[in-house]
Structure 1
Amino acid sequence: MSTTSVSATASSANLLQPAFADPVLDAQRSFRAALKALAGPGVAQSLLSAQIPPHLEGLASASHALCLALLDIDTPLWLAPKFDTQAIRANLTFHCGCPIVSDRQNARFALLDDSQLHDLSGFDLGNDRYPDQSCTLLIQLPSLQGGRQVAFQGPGIETKNHVSLPLQEAFWEERESRNDFPRGIDVFFLAGSELMGLPRSTQVAFKPMLTKGGA
């Protein structure tokens, strides 16, 4: 091994931090929270403090936990520039074994922030035979509240679930244009220790905005 390779390996090792305290149990708990979030779109799920991994600079607790629970050697990951840091790369590749890819088309998961949501082109939507091979988006937000209210409708929702995610309308338009069930993208919204699911089967409708003098 060359001196350069040894130096690079040592540098990566210095960036490594602990992951789950109980890798098996905590990963199972986080995975169940993710399934529950997709089964009940628009309902925030909170991770238990005991299952939250140690802080990794740049990642919310829920983002870190879902990465540890969902990623493995068979799930290539695309990182938005905000998350493409040495520390995040080193820890996710070490603890999860996931390849980090530069081409969106090759990603099974993508870690995004709110600055990347105006353009979702390139992410794999799956195909009619294998829709499960589409890319899943992990979208980290500052909060799961504070935006314009929209209504989620579809499987897992009795009538409507109203949510107020801090997202621009461009995201909803992008998502709509890329969903052609069974093809499409599933989404997790992440903030702090909370997560919310939005499967491709969910329909999203904007609540009409009141005009001046409106009721």
Structure 2
Amino acid sequence: MPAMPRPSDAETYANSAFDALLWALSRPGLPRSLPEAGESPIVAALLDRECRVHATDPLLLPEIMRTGAEIAEIAKADHVFLGTLTNAEPLSQVAVGSDLYPDDGATVILRGKIGCGQALHLSGPGVDGSLTVQIDGLPDGFWAARNARLRYPMGFDLFILDGADVLGLPRSTQIEVL
């Protein structure tokens, strides 16, 4: 019987984070747990030398650079780490793809509080009928700025990070502020 290679601890960590991120996007509004708190698991799961990345937190840059990813301006980034937002203006610069290449839309990662604050009504693919969630810690006008940038299939996918919990909101999810 041939020997099967064993994954390293780093591969197991990245795979666990990737699984949580995929699950979170496929079931919008339902939080999933990452292997540890913060952006590190997301960096390990999503970034490699073929990615362009923008990060507002300079402390995250060394970790991103270890992946070999290219540091880019926000408008050219595949992955945008916004940390804690104080205003919604950066969303106006995030790549949303084009009619021909909607997959060029970015993945946006930001911090928020899941389970308290602003009530949102979610519907669309992956949502069983509809779902109401609460998210706090985002600036005024955030959801209006997000909705203004989407024209499905163009848009950006969003991960909201709360410690080790992550909530995914793909561009296909319709969000109504309650």
Normalization by structure 2: what TM-score?
0.89
The Cα shift of 1:91 comes to 2.1
Q: Which has the higher strand share?
A: 2
Contact 1:41 1:202 in 2 (8 A): yes
State the Cα deviation string for residues 172-213 of structure 1 (Å, max 9, x = none).
000000000010010000011100000000001122xxxxxx
Q: Which residue pairs with 2:167 in the alignment?
A: 196
For normalisation by structure 1, the TM-score amounts to 0.74
Question: Are residues 1:175 and 2:169 paired?
Answer: no
2:109 to 138, 146, 151: 138
Task: Give the corresponding residue for 1:84.
Answer: 58
Per the TM alignment, residue 63 of structure 1 is displaced from its structure 2 partner at its CA by 1.7
Bigger fraction of residues in helix? 1
Structure 1 ranges of 4+ moved more than 3 A: none
2:81 is matched with which residue? 111
Structure 1 residues 36-80: Cα deviation after superposition (integer angstroms, max 9, x where no partner): 000000000012xxx33xxxxxxxx24210111001111111111
Any stretches of 5+ residues in structure 1 without a counterpart?
1-20, 53-60, 208-215
Write the distance in 1 (CA, Å) between the matches of 2:160 and 2:12.
23
2:61 alignment partner AA:
R
Say which of 27, 37, 44 aligns to 2:14: 27
Aligned residues: 169
Let me know the Cα RMSD of the aligned residues: 1.5
1:114 is displaced (CA, Å) by 3.3
Identity, % of aligned pairs?
A: 30
Q: Greater relative contact order: 1 or 2 (C-alpha under 8 angstroms, separation 6 or more)?
A: 2
Higher mean Cα deviation, 181-190 or 161-170? 161-170
**Structure 1: how far apart are the matches of 2:151 and 2:121?**
19
Is contact 1:145–1:163 with CA below 8 Å preserved after alignment?
Answer: yes
